[in-house]
Amino acid sequence: MRSTTDPTLRSFVPVPPESPFPIQNLPYGVFRPEPGAQPRVGVAIGDWVLDLAVLEERGFFGGPELADRRVFGQATLNVFMALGPAAWHAAREQISRLLRHDVAVLRDDAALRDQALVAREAAEMLLPCAIGDYTDFYASREHAANVGRLFRGTDAALPPSYLHTPIGYHGRASSVVISGTDIRRPQGPSCGPNGSGPALGPTRELDFELEVGWFVGRGNELGRPIPIQRAPNQVFGFVLVNDWSARDLQQWEYQPLGPFLGKNFATTISPWVVPAPALEPFRCEGPVHDSELLPYLRTKGPQAYDLHLQVALQTPQMDTPHIITRTNLRHLYWSPVQLVAHHTVGGCNLRPGDLLATGTVSGPTPDSLGCLLELTRRGESPLGLPSGEQRTFLEDGDTIILTGWCEGPDYRLGFGECRGRIQPASP
C-alpha cells in the first residue's frame, strides 16, 4: 500500500496549489456542517471538509483497530485519540484511500459525495478536543536567553538548569479557545509607572506568543513514566498556539511560582490537528545540545521539524495584515518527544486530549523572534508598520494571525490560521 505521505498522491477533490490541505495532510477537526447541527469529526481536503461521521454511518470504518466503535460522530476527538496509534493508522489509511483520484468508491458515488463533502467556508469549526490539562514549555533556547537578558541581564540570561532539562509550567485549559475568538484585554495588579504601585488595571503590555502545540493520544497511568522511545506513540497531532501574555502582570507576579494572571486569560489554537505522520517527511536535525543529557532525555535520529512559522499583525487602520516575524520550528532546543518524557518522568499521568505546547518559538536572527517582548526589546525599539503606526505591544482592535507550513516537493502542508482580535478590557 502506498504511503499516505507519498508526494505523488492526488485526490479526486480539487486542491488548489496554495492550499495547506492536500491529500498528504488530512488534518482532523470538529465542526458543524450548518448552524444548529450536531458536531462531528471531519478532515480537511482542499476547500472541503470530509464528514467522517457520514462515512462511519455507512460502514467505511471498523475492524479490530477501531474496535467497531463510533468515534467520528462525536463532539470531540477524545474517543478516537484514546484508541491509540493502530486505530489512528487504520483510519488515516482508509481516509487517504477514499480520497485518492484513482479510487472510485467515493469519487463515483454522487449521492454519498453530496452528503460527505461540506464546503470548508460553510463549516463552523469548534475546539477539536475536550482539553483536560494544558502545559506550556520554554523549549526555545533563543527565546529563553532573550527574555532572560531583558529581565535578569546577560550574565543570568539562562536559568542554570536550562541546558540540562526542559522548563515548563501548568497552564489553564478552561481558557483555550478556537481561532477567530476575540480576546478581551485582561486586567490585574502590576507595577505602576516609574516603579510605583501596585495598581489594578488593564494590561499595558499585551503580547502574542508564536508556539506549536500537540495533543496527547492514549496517555499513561499515574506513577508510570513514558520512556522516550515510546513518546512518539503519545503524540496524536499538532496545532498552532498563541499563548497570549500580559507582560506587566507577568513580571509583577512570576517569582517564585511563575505565570498566573499574566497567562491564564486566553490561549488560542488553530482548529485543524495535523496528524504526526503527516509531518514525518519533514523531520530534520535540531540544535546540538551543549551538555550531556540525562538518559531519560536521550533520543536517536532527527527529532526536529522543518516547519515554517510566521506572524502577521493587522491594526484597525490597515487593509491587509503585515508580516512582522518569520521563524522555523527546527530551531527548538527541546523536541516534543523530550517534553513528553520529561512531563511524565516523575509519574505525572497524561490523558487523551491534553495539550502540550513549545512556548515561544524564536530563531537566531532579529527578524525571527516569536513575540513583541523580543521584537521591540520590551518597547525600547517600537515596531514600524506600513500604515505609519508603531507598536510596542498590542492595542485594542489589533488582530494577530499565526500561520505555519511545510514545503513538500509538489505540495504545501499547512495548519490554516490561528487568529485572534483584541477587544477592550471589561468595564
C-alpha cell at 1: 500500500
Amino acid at 225: P
Q: What pairing do the DSSP bridges indicate for beta strands 267-269 and 176-178?
A: parallel
Instruction: Say how far apart CA 416 and CA 246 lie, in whole Å.
Output: 25
H helices of 265-365, in order, are: 276-279, 336-344
Which residue in 267, 256, 230 sits closest to 134, CA to CA? Answer: 267
C-alpha cell at 318: 490597515
* Other CB atoms within 10 A of residue 135 CB: 20
The verdict on whether omega for the bond into residue 232 sits within 30 degrees of 0, i.e. cis, is no
Residue 396 burial (10 A CB sphere; 0-12, 13-18, 19+): middle
- Indicate the DSSP class of residue 81: H
Which residue in 72, 343, 75, 351 sits closest to 236, CA to CA? Answer: 351
Amino acid at 41: V
* Other CB atoms within 10 A of residue 67 CB: 11
CB-CB contact of 269 with 355 (8 Å): yes
Residues in the chain: 427
CB-CB contact of 11 with 23 (8 Å): yes
143, 331, 342, 343: the catalytic one is 143
Residue 45 burial (10 A CB sphere; 0-12, 13-18, 19+): buried
H helices of 67-126, in order, are: 78-82, 85-99, 104-107, 110-116
143 is an active site residue: yes
- 202: phi then psi, degrees, rounded to nearest 5: -60, 145
Instruction: Say how far apart CA 341 and CA 227 lie, in whole Å.
Output: 6
* Other CB atoms within 10 A of residue 169 CB: 16
Question: Would you list the DSSP string of 352-401?
Answer: TT-EEE------SSGGG-SSHHHHTTTTTSPEE-TTS-EESS--TT-EEE
Instruction: Say how far apart CA 295 and CA 345 lie, in whole Å.
Output: 11
- Indicate the DSSP class of residue 301: S
**Residues classed as catalytic:** 143
